[in-house]
Amino acid sequence: ALTTNGKDPRFSNAHQRSQAVTEIRMRVATLQATISNTLFNMLKAGPKVQEAVLDWIANILRLNLERRKMQFDPVKVSSLGFFVNMGAVMVTLSMPYILSKKDRISTVNPRFLLGKSRVDYNLCTRLHTTTLDLKQLALRLEEEQEDRDYDVDKDEEDNEEDEETAGDSADAHHQQQQEEKAG
């Protein structure tokens, strides 16, 4: 579709379009960074907030299972733009693990999702396993997770008691030094 002067009219203002595209990309990057920072702060806010955020992410994935199909109803699933942004946010949140010079993979609990009610095991592929076997496995894993959570809570309580005892010992030692100086 060249004109008589040999120039394609679709590229007549290519410089302006390039600036517009750059501006849109910058706005999207700013939006993604803001969402990443918000989610990161929420994940660091404490166990209750962390569980709520993880449940929210699990619900997003569960409610968009329809998207796996070759032909899906776009009204029933989130938009492609939402998933592009969500993917960028997830990558940003994982960057400390990706870029770390330390071996941070050992800090990842590979069994974290096992036993959590947010995972639907019926969708998993399994060989020689009945639904009953799978339910029993899920219950066992949930109990193991509860035991680990209890152990973590118990360790935290023990550490707090040790810190209090150490603080009392330090206070007693300091008081004894003060008495020796006065005496």
Distance CA 31, CA 26 (A): 9
Distance CA 83, CA 61 (A): 10
Distance CA 143, CA 121 (A): 16
Q: What is the pLDDT of residue 6?
A: 66
Residue 70 DSSP symbol = S
Q: What is the pLDDT of residue 166?
A: 46
| CA distances for 98 relative to 31, 103, 110, angstroms | 22, 10, 16
Q: What are phi and psi of 69, to 5 degrees?
A: -70, 155
Q: What is the pLDDT of residue 32?
A: 95
Structure tokens at 134: 């799978």
| CA distances for 183 relative to 63, 170, 173, angstroms | 74, 20, 15
Cα Rg of the chain (Å, integer): 28
Cβ(115)–Cβ(145) under 8 Å? Answer: yes
Structure confidence by residue, pLDDT tens digits, 120-166: 666 666 667 788 887 888 888 888 877 776 665 665 565 555 545 54
Regions in the chain scoring below 70 on pLDDT: 1-6, 9-11, 14, 113-116, 118-127, 149-183
pTM: 0.57
Cα–Cα–Cα angle for 19, 90, 86, rounded to 5 degrees: 60
